[in-house]
Structure 1
Amino acid sequence: MTKPRNTLVSLDATPYYHCVSRCVRRAFLCGSDNNGRCYEHRRQWIEDKITALAGIFAIDICAYAVMSNHYHVVLHIDKDAADSWSVDEILERWHSLYKGTVLTQRYRGNKNSLTKPELDAVNEKAELWRHRLCDISWFMRIINESTARLANVEDGCTGRFWEGRYKSQALLDEQALLACMAYVDLNPIRAGMNTTPESSAHTSIQRRSLQAKRAHSPNHRQQQVKAFMPFVGNPRKDMPKGVPLRLTDYLELVDWTGRIIREDKRSAIHHQLPPILDRLQLDPKHWLYLSQNFESRFKNLVGSAFAIKRAAETLGYRRTPRSCINLL
């Protein structure tokens, strides 16, 4: 039975989520149809919208991959950033997406011309928009609506473009986050679209790889891709916001995982396991299983048995989801 969104997304459980949207049409989202018509340019529509919204919402992009008939995003909700925004900043961000109201438009033109009741109404509306600007449902809604409208105009038709509401998975711990990011970044390779991560177009791993190649110090936070969740190194005191790993370590991990997936005999290269697996206490067999079966095997909650039990209690589940236990 489908669960309501408020039982799947809770910042008390985790700020990290994996979202997937699939196209319903046989003509595909971005690939080529049976008549040879190419829709490849639509992949750029989605990639541009993802990165643009990351600069407007209080949401960071950890990973994404735009495929032929679906796309993946791994998101981090930064509620602290949204809470720090002033009314003026909220209105500026929201007005870059929508027209707003007559009062909010007047406020931005000359706030001193508004009466106190009108200012109160603006503040109330700003608080509503503050909440929406850190809501992954609104984030996904804007991507999907804009893409569907453009595709319908291009196809000269109306009706549903997406299969249904997007799929969401809560990533409850560091292992689940990294496994999901690797799963998303390796999607084009598993689909046979590309042979290496850095050659996979319209993916976060390609952009991170190119940035690392050009940078003098690829692990320096200021030299990583803007709008992306930064890699901030190994856990330590006063840890800044970001993925608790060095960028170069993550690239090594993804490359290793991709090579293992393509091998018929996995045991042949066990001696090449990167040190990062030991540091994160990841069992190689469990890691490979996660990174190959992330979407098909696991449902709404992904993480260790302890993390899932704790999240289930936070979300008010009557029982711990059996299909999610013993992941790591």
Structure 2
Amino acid sequence: MTTSGETQVCLDETPFYHCYVRCVRRAYLCGEDFSTGESYDHRKQWIVSRLKFLSYIYAIDICAYAVMSNHYHVVLHVDKSRAQSWSRTEVVERWMQLYKGDMLVSRWLKAPATLDEAQRDAVYLKIETWRERLFDIGWFMRGVNETIARMANAEENCKGRFWEGRYKSQALLDEAALLSCMAYVDLNPVRAGMEESLDTSDFTSIQQRLAELARKKRQLKKHPELAERTEKQVRLKADLKLDNQPEAPLMVFDGSSHTDVHVALPFTEQDYLRLVDETGRVLRADKRGAIPDAIKPIIERFGIDPKNWLEHVQNFSRRYGRCAGHVVRMRAYVERYGLRAAKGVGVSSFLYKGFN
């Protein structure tokens, strides 16, 4: 478990976390500079590519993401058992793709017989430290934010902070919290009035999932806006020389055809995409509380009260503090880790059926 003033990661409670961070002074350092008219939209691709590259290295899956002009959100899944299954050699190979190695570890890789017992013990201890860091959200987020800050400062030939302090995180304690938070993240551009549809919501996981599904069904041409936006991002990655960088796929859904996956999101792709699409349509139409009958069974399946779904998805990040979930789970979480009363307990009692 790692803790700080803004961050609480407790893998014994949940492997799912919502992380978010804002640009310093909430400036639009990843969008258009309204004073000069210069666009920094390409930095959004920097962030997306960095997230996916680190997910490829770390035992951390990306469930959802949305990169906006002055902040970004990402929902992460920590796969501790995967990191523990790696051989020592694999841990070293992964770590050294990101950071400088260690002379003694390098010797162990090339000629292990040249090391005495004390040296081998030191190497093994170092490798176990690296292994723990490779499923640590703090190290993962640092690897994103510090790299992007350096790239932005180099681009502008300046020094200074790029991000508004440390990232913040929320523990997602149950499936309803995970579902709500992922929908909240994926609907960020629509909810903020920046985009009209999921197809045009650039630099979001929902757009990526829709494009991948359309491509799989060979139907991308039937979605011209989605095809155009996707192709534009492909060209941008090439221009930024990021097209050859390895990337992890998004975390798959339950019922996926991927046979090599041992853990998946606890809902189907069809249900999730339909839920987000229908919710987005209601948000755009500003029909407060008008949840379509077609998606009510999906919402109710997770113990969520449909009449409070919209408000919850619109304001998830503001309604909760360090954790989100059923009232019982939230109170137990607070008591276990000696925290002050959890922000969002009252909101949670309205979201879940049977409390109102």
State the TM-score, normalizing by the size of structure 1. Answer: 0.89
* 1:228 is aligned to 2:250: yes
After superposition, the Cα gap between the structure-2 partners of 1:100 and 1:268, relative to the gap in structure 1 and judged at 3 Å, is: closer
User: Cα offset for 1:107?
Assistant: 2.0
Q: Does 1:12 pair with 2:33? A: no
Answer whether contact 1:13 1:314 (CA < 8 A) is retained: no
The answer as to 2:322 corresponding to 1:321 is no
Equivalent of 1:264, from 262, 286, 291?
Answer: 286
Whole-Å Cα distance in 2 between the matches of residues 6 and 67 of structure 1?
Answer: 21
> What amino acid sits opposite 1:78 in the alignment?
D
Alpha carbons of 1:5 and 1:104: their partners in 2 closer, same or farther (altered >3 Å)? farther
Q: Which residue of 2 aligns with 1:293?
A: 315
Which residue identity lines up with residue 282 of structure 1 in the other structure? I
* Residue of structure 1 aligned with 2:266, choices 220, 225, 244: 244
- Change beyond 3 A, Cα 1:88–1:179: same
Question: Does the 8 A contact of 1:189 with 1:195 survive in 2?
Answer: yes
Structure 1 residues 326 and 70 mapped into 2: Cα distance closer, same or farther (>3 Å)?
closer
Runs (4+) off by over 6 Å: none
Aligned with 1:198: secondary structure?
coil
**Whole-Å Cα distance in 2 between the matches of residues 198 and 227 of structure 1?**
19
The answer for the alignment partner of 1:279 in structure 2 is 301
Q: Deviations over 1:14-45 (max 9, x none)?
A: 11110001111565231011211110111111
Residue of structure 1 in register with 2:244 after alignment: none
Task: After TM superposition, give the deviation of residue 272 of structure 1 in Å.
Answer: 4.3
Map Cα deviations across residues 60-103 of structure 1 (whole Å, 9 max, x no partner).
10000111011111001111111111111110010000111111
Root-mean-square deviation (CA, aligned residues, Å) is 2.3
Which residue does the alignment assign to 2:239?
none
When residues 13 and 322 of structure 1 are mapped into structure 2, their CA distance, relative to the original with a 3 A threshold, is: same
Q: Provide Cα deviations, 1:216-273, integer angstroms capped at 9, x if missing partner.
A: 499xxxxxx9532110149xxxx95111111111000001111122233335554443
Partner residue, 2:80: 79
Distance 1:267 1:140 in 2: 36
Distance 2:6 2:167 in 1: 14
Amino acid in structure 2 at the alignment position of 1:59: I
Q: Distance in 2 between matches of 1:26 and 1:86?
A: 42
Segments of 5+ residues of structure 2 without an aligned counterpart are 220-246, 352-356
Q: TM-score, normalised by structure 2?
A: 0.83
Kindly tell me: are residues 231 and 56 of structure 1, through their superposed partners in 2, closer, same or farther at Cα, counting changes over 3 Å? same
What is the letter of the counterpart of residue 20 of structure 2?
A: V
1:227 aligned counterpart, secondary structure: coil
Q: Which residue of 2 aligns with 1:311?
A: 333
- Mapped partners of 2:150, 2:216: distance in 1: 38
Task: Tell me which moved more, 261-270 or 176-185.
Answer: 261-270
Give the count of matched residue pairs: 315
Larger deviation, residues 253-262 vs 268-277:
268-277
Answering whether residue 51 of structure 2 is matched by residue 30 of structure 1, we say no
Which residue pairs with 2:235 in the alignment?
none
SS in 2 for 1:266: coil
What is the CA–CA distance in structure 2 between the aligned matches of 1:7 and 1:275, rounded to whole Å?
A: 34
Q: Structure 2 vs 1, CA of residues 118 and 188 (structure 1 numbering), >3 Å: closer, same or farther? A: same
Q: Supply the distance in 1 between the matched residues of 2:32 and 2:304 (Cα, whole angstroms).
A: 39
Quick one: which amino acid aligns to residue 316 of structure 2?
Answer: F
Larger CA deviation: 104-113 vs 43-52: 104-113
Identity of aligned residues (%): 51
- For 1:184 and 1:96, how far apart are their aligned partners in 2? 29
| Distance in 1 between residues matched to 2:346 and 2:86, nearest whole Å | 38
Quick one: distance in 2 between partners of 1:162 and 1:138? 16
Amino acid at match of 2:328: F
Q: Structure 1 CA distance, aligned partners of 2:333 and 2:14?
A: 8
Question: Which residue identity lines up with residue 94 of structure 1 in the other structure?
Answer: W
Provide the C-alpha distance between the structure 2 equivalents of 1:80 and 1:48, rounded to a whole number of angstroms: 25
> Which amino acid in structure 1 is aligned with residue 266 of structure 2?
P
Residue 191 of structure 1 and its aligned partner are, at CA, apart by 2.3
Q: In the alignment, which residue of structure 2 is the partner of 1:108?
A: 109
